């Protein structure tokens, strides 16, 4: 990113597999794009980063001459626990805190640490900055973040709701405020992030007051392969009755449940397609999925007491009108209405899908977590530059 515009974007996928994929796109002032795709085995993050750097300085698809031009590298860090309420410049202490939070995010924080280490070695003169998925939800108060289990599980072991997707919830909330030309700290919003992982947030006067994901990203809405809310006694039943191990139950709830568990498919496009072809299990999966969202809308309506806007975002939230329709159906008594023509319009940009003049706006707002991470990172460097100039 240069100032506020994106110069290039890219992704390295399937690191460590026999066929990895690097996609790099350079954006031109003429609005053209130059795309480069490398299809090869990329053995680890270091090799992936060396290929990314090679793209960035490449004479044709590159956007910089020298890696020293990069002032800072922003990292998405999944779990900041209670230690981080804001974007933070990474130093040894921050690394230690991310390590301390590994038990809370055993799959994510270790890879985030590898990313930080590798980026620091490739960009030794740049600041490394951490943007935490949990930070936006640190404004949630005890009554909403504590589980009703013995209190010392919180005070000693930090068992509590943390919430995730914070970067996305904040990004779309800010976009909504700009669209409505009102300060975010005057708005009450329900944000609904529906991607492979799904979560909702209740945002009161711009601050998160509740969110559906919990201590881990398993709680809450139905997701592609995750169950979301279940009776906490079900794992005991699975262990006692079916003799499943903890690891097997973990896999069942995280990887074999959700849409996939009900109809065998986790990709929403395929689930909708199956439903349209009359497959009953796909209709059932969608009914369960949307009913859960609708219940959370009701719950967050109660928590917020009044709502200015409901926002759908991420792959499913932005692209699946049927899901938006079904999740809001029958909520007219709360003032939530959807205009069916607007809901079906094939637009990519921020838009209202509620009837003109409706008190509660229902909106579709494309999320952009990478851009938000870059903006947050820039804010931190600007603040640091201002402090050092004073
Ligand atoms: P991630 O959480 O990995 O960032 P995304 O936000 O890209 O995921 O969302 C992925 C989900 O979005 C998948 O279930 C995919 O099927 C769904 N999706 C993408 N495009 C559409 C579409 N046109 N209609 C319905 N679902 C879609």
Six token digits for residue 265: 């498919």
Task: State yes or no: pLDDT of 65 exceeds 70.
Answer: yes
Q: Is 258 in the pocket of ligand 1 (CB under 6 A)?
A: no
What are the pLDDT digits (tens) for 235-282? Answer: 999 999 999 999 999 999 999 999 999 999 999 999 999 999 999 999
Q: Is 271 in the pocket of ligand 1 (CB under 6 A)?
A: no
Six token digits for residue 139: 């404004």
| Position 5 confidence tier, pLDDT thresholds 50, 70, 90 | confident
What are the pLDDT digits (tens) for 270-316? Answer: 999 999 999 999 999 999 999 999 999 999 999 999 999 999 999 99
- Which residue among 268, 275, 348 has the greatest number of ligand 1 atoms within 8 angstroms of its CB, and so is best to mutate? 268
Let me know if 308 is a catalytic residue: no
Burial class (CB in 10 A: 0-12, 13-18, 19+), 262: buried
Residue 96 near residue 130, CB atoms below 8 Å: no
Q: What is the pLDDT of residue 2?
A: 66
Distance of CA 258 to the CA centre of its chain: 17
Q: What is the pLDDT of residue 108?
A: 86
What is the pTM assigned to this prediction? Answer: 0.93
Mean residue pLDDT of the chain comes to 94
* 250 alpha carbon – ligand 1 mean position (Å): 24
Q: Is 9 in the pocket of ligand 1 (CB under 6 A)?
A: no
Task: State yes or no: pLDDT of 383 exceeds 90.
Answer: no
Q: Which domains does the chain have, with CATH numbers?
A: 8-160 (3.30.420.40), 182-369 (3.30.420.40)
Which residue would you say has higher pLDDT here, 36 or 319?
Answer: 319
Q: Is 320 in the pocket of ligand 1 (CB under 6 A)?
A: yes
Q: Is 205 in the pocket of ligand 1 (CB under 6 A)?
A: no
Active-site residue among 2, 32, 39, 133?
133
Q: What is the pLDDT of residue 253?
A: 96
Query: Which of 310, 366, 312, 327 minimizes the C-alpha distance to 188?
Result: 310
| Position 3 confidence tier, pLDDT thresholds 50, 70, 90 | low
* 318 alpha carbon – ligand 1 mean position (Å): 8
């Amino acid at each position: 990113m240069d100032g506020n515009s994106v110069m290039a974007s890219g992704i390295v996928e399937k690191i460590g597999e026999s066929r990895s994929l690097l996609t790099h796109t350079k954006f031109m002032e003429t609005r053209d794009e130059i795309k480069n795709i490398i299809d090869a085995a990329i053995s680890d993050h270091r090799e992936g980063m060396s290929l990314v750097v090679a793209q960035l300085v490449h004479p044709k698809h590159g956007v910089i001459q020298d890696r020293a031009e990069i002032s800072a590298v922003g990292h998405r860090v999944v779990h900041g626990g209670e230690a981080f309420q804001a974007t933070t410049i990474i130093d040894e202490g921050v690394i230690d805190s991310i390590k301390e939070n590994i038990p809370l995010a055993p799959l994510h924080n270790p890879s985030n640490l590898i990313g930080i280490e590798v980026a620091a070695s490739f960009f030794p003169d740049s600041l490394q900055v951490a943007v935490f998925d949990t930070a936006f939800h640190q404004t949630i108060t005890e009554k909403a973040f504590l589980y009703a289990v013995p209190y010392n599980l919180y005070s000693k072991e930090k068992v509590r709701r943390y919430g995730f997707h914070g970067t996305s919830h904040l990004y779309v909330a800010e976009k909504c405020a700009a669209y409505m030309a009102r300060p975010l700290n005057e708005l009450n919003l329900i944000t609904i992030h529906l991607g492979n992982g799904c979560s909702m947030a209740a945002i009161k006067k711009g601050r998160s007051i509740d969110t559906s994901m919990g201590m881990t990203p398993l709680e809450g809405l139905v997701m592609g392969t995750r169950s979301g809310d279940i009776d906490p006694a079900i794992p005991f039943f699975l262990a006692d009755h079916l003799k499943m191990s903890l690891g097997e139950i973990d896999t069942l709830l995280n990887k074999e449940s959700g849409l996939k568990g009900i109809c065998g498919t986790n990709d929403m496009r395929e689930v909708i397609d199956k439903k349209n072809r009359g497959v009953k299990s796909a209709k059932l999966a969608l009914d369960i999925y949307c009913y859960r969202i609708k219940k959370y809308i009701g719950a967050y309506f109660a928590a917020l007491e009044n709502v200015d806007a409901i926002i759908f975002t991420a792959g499913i939230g932005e692209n699946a009108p049927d899901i938006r329709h079904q999740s809001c159906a029958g909520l007219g008594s709360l003032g939530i209405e959807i205009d069916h023509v607007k809901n079906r319009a094939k637009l990519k940009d921020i838009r209202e899908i509620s009837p003109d003049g409706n008190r509660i706006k229902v909106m579709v707002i494309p999320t952009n977590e990478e851009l938000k991470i870059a903006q947050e990172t820039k804010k931190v460097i600007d603040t640091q530059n201002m402090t050092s100039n004073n």
